[in-house]
Structure 1
């Protein structure tokens, strides 16, 4: 199944917030921040854009490879079209040769948060690098911000099949040529964007192909490299899930789990409807209650009928 991010229209209006509604949340004790988590391929980017179509929001990327400039296909960056006009921060901004640490992320993400809140927008942090999110939240973050954690979960067998198919689509889009143009036999592959899955696997292929004129041999080595990319992507998904479970079960983070497995098992319009009902709609209702529950309508610039709107939102 291929999940599309290209549909930018708001499929179901959620709340009719007054223009200054997010700004009036400053009256609450803490600022509000939404964090979208999940393994690679689970649909985190799609959900963040869906939420930003329903709330006045901007996105902060927390994927440690997508912060770097370049290799947009290999790192699976969300495209300009898929962003649907939603502002994204820390996406393709960092020098690909540099190391970007969790401490670097904490500093830049904090600055982006303040900037977004200053514009009276809702910050949505999204990405699969849980070490970055943990470094941010485990600082003095919780003393200043109230967090809503959304976890998009997909059963591993289903997700493994999806990410393998996704690698094939990335190859079709030109990933091999993209990484070949970035190839440097003398580069340090232990730092920067060269740690991204797909780069070291194809590096081995590029070194081999330079010594072989036989097309069949080169095709076999390329196929082996692609298989390694798929295997390492599946391993990454397992590690990401383990970290999320540790944050929930050991560190006690309260995560709203959204099981998207059925979405990935369906096709076409049925899949789109399932995403809306199971993931997007439920997430929007959770965020709605998080931002402005019925006990705090007055703080949210409430108007007659606001409470009823919240109750409708909660029924998704």
Structure 2
């Protein structure tokens, strides 16, 4: 069920009470207090590669009227959809996505370019009365946007940071398995059509993990014997797995730095148990541990709804019903 609401705008302070659906939480009520909002709202979804950032952002956009802005510095480029693990149209579930596969793959899209383009996207989305959700693993881009030199972004927007965290010993095997799945989906053919022996691996989409690692394989593919080709292929796949795990560790360190050194208020959601389960059990765990707590955090952030005293077992449909009449 989608939570229907108008985004927060400056308004007189009101203190209405919204009754929860009968029997949902023993008659408790959500108290909407101090609903005056001086700034527009922006949500950031952070986390290491493979942790589920895209999944959470799309889940939230089905509960709230939202649009997604990609902040992954490689996924902004057009092409190599499998290699860069772009979210598919099907998985987007009709949610508008910005800065996803929009840039020339041979160009260099800098942090300054991201700040300019993302700021414009945020302004456009809030102008429509929608919630901008910025999601991606390039925390340096997010930091450049939020903590700009002239404090312009923070002076205009209130930010809510959500961090999907997965224990590295649990995440690393999943990331390695995902590389194998990408290979099965056609990663090699995608890379082969893109390969350029004179390509610059320090620029554009060729910086993506998966591109330079296969250089030696493609150089020898046409002339090497079968044993050499097999060895180089396995070596390339192994390097992609290793470098992806290194990236995940680096991303995690950056989040800890933003939280502990720069003192960003970041809500941590531990998704580790989700990755330790399979199938239906994993999906139920995701809803209970990640999606529903995130929606509650956003409910409080968007409408000053205090859900602290609400029954913790209350599921999203009941919460959505309670908030549907709320106008912030």
Query: How would you bin the TM-score normalised by the shorter chain?
Result: 0.7 to 0.9
Contact preservation (8 Å) 1:153, 1:261: yes
CA RMSD in angstroms, aligned pairs only: 1.7
- State the SS of the aligned residue for 1:150: strand
Following superposition, the deviation at residue 308 of structure 1 comes to 8.9
Unaligned runs of 5+ in 1: 1-12, 296-304, 311-316
TM-score, normalised on structure 2? 0.84
CA distance in 2, matches of 1:133, 1:204: 34
CA distance in 2, matches of 1:291, 1:215: 59
Contact preservation (8 Å) 1:14, 1:284: no
- State the SS of the aligned residue for 1:53: helix
Partner deviation per Cα, 1:158-187 (whole Å, 9 max, x = no partner): 100100000000000001110110000011
Partner deviation per Cα, 1:134-155 (whole Å, 9 max, x = no partner): 0000122111000000000000
Correspondence for 1:116 among 125, 138, 143: 125
Point out the structure with the larger helix share.
1
Correspondence for 1:134 among 143, 154, 179: 143
Does 1:277 pair with 2:261?
Answer: no
- State the SS of the aligned residue for 2:267: strand
Contact preservation (8 Å) 2:2, 2:320: no
CA distance in 1, matches of 2:250, 2:77: 22
Correspondence for 2:179 among 167, 171, 188: 167
Contact preservation (8 Å) 1:294, 1:307: no
Following superposition, the deviation at residue 25 of structure 1 comes to 3.0
Following superposition, the deviation at residue 205 of structure 1 comes to 1.1
- State the SS of the aligned residue for 2:193: helix
Residue matched to 2:166: 154
Does 1:190 pair with 2:202?
Answer: yes
Unaligned runs of 5+ in 2: 12-36, 307-317, 324-328
* Deviation >4 Å, runs of 4+: 305-308
Instruction: Rate the CA distance shift 1:306–1:97 in 2: closer, same or farther, 3 A.
Output: closer
Contact preservation (8 Å) 2:299, 2:305: no
